[in-house]
A and B are shown apart, each in its own frame.
Chain A
Amino acid sequence: MSSENITKEEVAAIFPKVAEIMADALGCEVAEVKPDASLIKDLGAESIDFLDIVFRLERGFKVKIPRGKIVEDARGSLSEADFEKGGVVTDAGVARLKDFLSEVPPDRFPSPLKVAEIPKLFTVETFCKMVIRQQRAAPPA
């Protein structure tokens, strides 16, 4: 259980719209977009697709999502030096990531984990949680 208290109900409430947006962005069927699907491994997303998805989520949910937000949020209170060394996530960083990305099964975390590989962990639910965080930060007027 993550320390940030995003409930399954909150995720379930926005998942259908997120799934529709992702299916549009990735050119796949909505049925393929499962909450635990890895964007890269299961849905074939590339870096341009991440940009596309973030912009579509911004428009769809009327929130602002600064790029790099997931990794920045994942680091939390850890300094960059405490989070990674030489491009590899530290033990403290991995612990923080496992808490923050609680939707990602632990066996999907490689060891060692390179910073560049973090996006490979992201699931559809990861993006649902990102939207919820941004909605909480700036609720619609």
Chain B
Amino acid sequence: MDGHFRAFSFVDRITSVLPGVKIGGIYQIPAGISEFPQSLAAEAVGQLAAWSAMAAFDFKRRPVAGIAAAVELLSPVRPGQTLELAADLESVESDAVAYGGTAHCEGRPVLRLVHCVGPMLPQEDFDDPQAVKTRFSLLCQSGAQAGGFAGVPPLPLEDTGAEAGQWRRATLHVPQTLAVFADHFARRPVLPGTLSMHKTLELADRLMKDVPAAGGWTARTISGSKVRAFTLPGESLEIEVRLARRDGDTAVVAVEARKGKRSVGASRITFQAEGNP
């Protein structure tokens, strides 16, 4: 089946929308997949905000991943659950959208995006504007058929260096072909920034396993996240996570992603020792 609007689409139905102002929607996480990382809940909120921003520009412009002042990781979600999504747009202009948003599950907050900024680019470079517009109408009316996402694609991290509890480095080799590329984006496949975020969290978790804490560590917030460049099929990303600070039950990990010498992404992840929410 064609993966367009299925392989990496995380809004099944738009329940309310004021183009360029606010939007609400839902997403049913497929029951048959093995996991649904919180980074994909962030993707769902971002995609929801994108629908409102695109509608404000008659689908001639679309936002792409850019900056998130903070991604608050509030609680995990499981396959089979339904995400209730909401986004408030702070501003929408032809070159950028600024927004915040939340994902809830069964009334419980799952994730919050704070002060996100996405560059607005020509829609036609990424997708067929008319097809996107038609999809928006479907989402606003009956909604789309759920269950298109087949699960987190295999993206192995190759360890390239480490100093236990201090830093870790790994290479993320992006395959030439992935199912998600059919949907992200149809005319210009790029690795979704939230999949990079997922792999970065995985590497940071491994770093924190070597930092002593009685109950282990849990990532709570990703702050100052910035995507400086697209990552294309077949490219490799060098990801480095470094323990920047530990202050009692809180630890901060600095993240940098590079393509060769060029820094293409950065963020900080705040971890909390378990048992101290």
Report which A residues bind B (CB closer than 8 A).
24, 27, 44, 46-49, 51-52, 55, 59, 66-68
Contacts and interface: CB of A to CB of B under 8 A. Distances in A.
B226 A52 contact: yes
A55 B117 contact: yes
27 contacts: A24-B224, A27-B263, A27-B266, A44-B263, A46-B228, A46-B229, A47-B119, A48-B66, A48-B67, A48-B119, A48-B226, A48-B228, A49-B226, A49-B228, A51-B66, A51-B117, A51-B119, A52-B67, A52-B117, A52-B226, A55-B98, A55-B115, A55-B117, A59-B115, A66-B93, A67-B93, A68-B95
B166 to A, nearest CB: 19
Given A44-B263, A51-B67, A55-B67, 13 more contacts: A24-B224, A27-B224, A27-B266, A46-B228, A48-B66, A48-B119, A51-B66, A51-B119, A52-B226, A55-B98, A67-B93, A67-B95, A67-B96
A137 to B, nearest CB: 17
A47 B227 CA distance: 11
Q: Which of A27, A44, A68 is the most central at the interface, judged by chain B CB atoms within 10 Å of its CB?
A: A27
A67 B120 CA distance: 12
B250 to A, nearest CB: 19
Contacts of B67: 48, 51-52, 55
Contacts of B93: 66-67
Contacts of A67: 93, 95-96
A42 B229 CA distance: 20
Contacts of A49: 226, 228
Q: What is the interface of chain B mostly: helix, strand, loop, or mixed?
A: strand
A46 B226 CA distance: 11
A55 B263 CA distance: 21
Contacts, number: 37
- Which are the 7 A-B pairs with shortest beta-carbon distances? A67-B95, A52-B67, A55-B117, A51-B96, A48-B228, A27-B266, A46-B228
Contacts of B95: 51, 67-68
Contacts of B66: 48, 51-52
A52 B229 CA distance: 14
A97 B169 CA distance: 45
Interface string B56-68: 0000000000110
Interface in B82-123: 93, 95-96, 98, 115, 117, 119
Interface centre among B66, B226, B266, by most chain A C-beta atoms within 10 angstroms, is: B226
A47 B95 CA distance: 11
A112 to B, nearest CB: 25
B262 to A, nearest CB: 9
A49 B117 CA distance: 11
Of A44, A49, A51, which is in contact with the most chain B CB atoms at under 10 Å from its CB?
A51
Contacts of B266: 27
A51 B121 CA distance: 13
A54 to B, nearest CB: 8
A48 B224 CA distance: 13
B95 to A, nearest CB: 5
B130 to A, nearest CB: 27
Contacts of B228: 46, 48-49
